[in-house]
Structure 1
Amino acid sequence: MESFTCSKLVSCHGLPTIITLLYFCTIATTLCLAARQPEQRMIKSNTADFIKTSCGVTRYPDICYETLSSYARTILTSPKELANAALSVSLNEAQSTSASVLKLSKGHDLRPREAGAVKDCVENMRDSIDELQQSLIAMKDLHYLGPEFELQMSNVMTWVSAALTNEDTCMDNFEGNGFNGEVKSTVKGYIIRVSQLTSNALALINQLR
């Protein structure tokens, strides 16, 4: 028996009236959409499982899944796309954090030591942003085949590790006495999230090896 396809059903030429044509084509479209729904649900479920399982190798699996699940259509079940998405999320957060810290640095009620620490943190975050951008560029040139793969992977991981180090250094600037508790906790709140995201990205990149 000849198999049914949406394209055959949609081929409605030669029917006696426009009304009949529209009627059968509407039915065809409805049936085609209904036929695709189970497949789409399966793909969505497989992608969600893939992201959740992959996030299990990170230090912060909950935030990993929370931030990457919205990229499901791009990620599907591709480890490389997952790593790219994680890097993009980390970069976006680093840019947001940098803007917040820069705004804080322009406050007039900072103590001298606080002002210095915040200024250094601004520089740290600028470096982190640049390093994450470099890692994304390097990821685009990443090919699984060929002798250069390990060198390319090493470059990507070096950039991301450097970004994570700069984020940690930002917090180190606030160690010791002489800081307003509110200023310190505000900066810490910014930095913790971006460092967690960068740590997750590094773990997912490492899984490409």
Structure 2
Amino acid sequence: MAQPTKARDYQAVKECLDQINDGVDQLANCIKETQNIKEDGEANDFPWHASNVQTWMSTALTDAGMCIDGFSGRAIGGKTKAMIKAKVLNLQQVTSNALALFNRFAARFRSSHVKKPKVL
């Protein structure tokens, strides 16, 4: 038996919020991880930290996408659906920008910490 429309709408919004909350947790992990990157140039641990940040930011992007996908084909009211989608798309864009900035930082960090061979 199909759920009543209001119950399905509620479930879609709840699932979306769960996805967004998971994404927020991933982004909080990113902040903590970037604080573990040593300012003194400890390049040895950098690949580990960078990989964690990139993975968690990508996961946050996926979570936001899953939120939007959860509304596909649902009969949620036009205004409500449009408002939620707009907010989540904005969140995706900001997260994508943050990932791009971090990737650029990571590339520069790596290139500035390349060990140059000693010339004898």
Match of 1:146 in 2: 43
TM-score computed with the length of structure 2 as normaliser: 0.77
Residues of 1 paired with 2:61 and 2:19: CA distance? 10
Amino acid in the other structure paired with 1:157: Q
Query: Which consecutive residues of structure 1, in runs of 5 or more, have no partner in the other structure?
Result: 1-109
Partner of residue 18, structure 2: 123
- 1:170 maps to which of 54, 67, 74: 67
AA of the residue aligned to 1:185: A
The alpha carbon displacement at 1:166 in A equals 0.7
Do the aligned residues in 1 keep the contact of 2:30 with 2:52 (CA within 8 Å)?
yes
Given the superposition, is the C-alpha separation of residues 197 and 176 from structure 1 closer, same or farther in structure 2, using an over 3 Å criterion? same
State the identity %: 34
Task: Find 2:77's aligned residue among 169, 180, 186.
Answer: 180
The corresponding residue for 1:86 is none
Number of aligned residue pairs: 100
**What is the CA deviation profile of residues 47-74 of structure 1, one whole-angstrom value per residue up to 9, with x for unaligned ones?**
xxxxxxxxxxxxxxxxxxxxxxxxxxxx
Task: Say which SS state the counterpart of residue 179 (structure 1) adopts.
Answer: coil
* Partner AA of 2:88 in structure 1: I
Structure number, greater radius of gyration: 1
Q: Considering Cα pairs closer than 8 Å and 6+ residues apart, tell me whether 1 or 2 has the greater RCO.
A: 2
Q: What TM-score, normalized by structure 1, do the two folds share?
A: 0.45
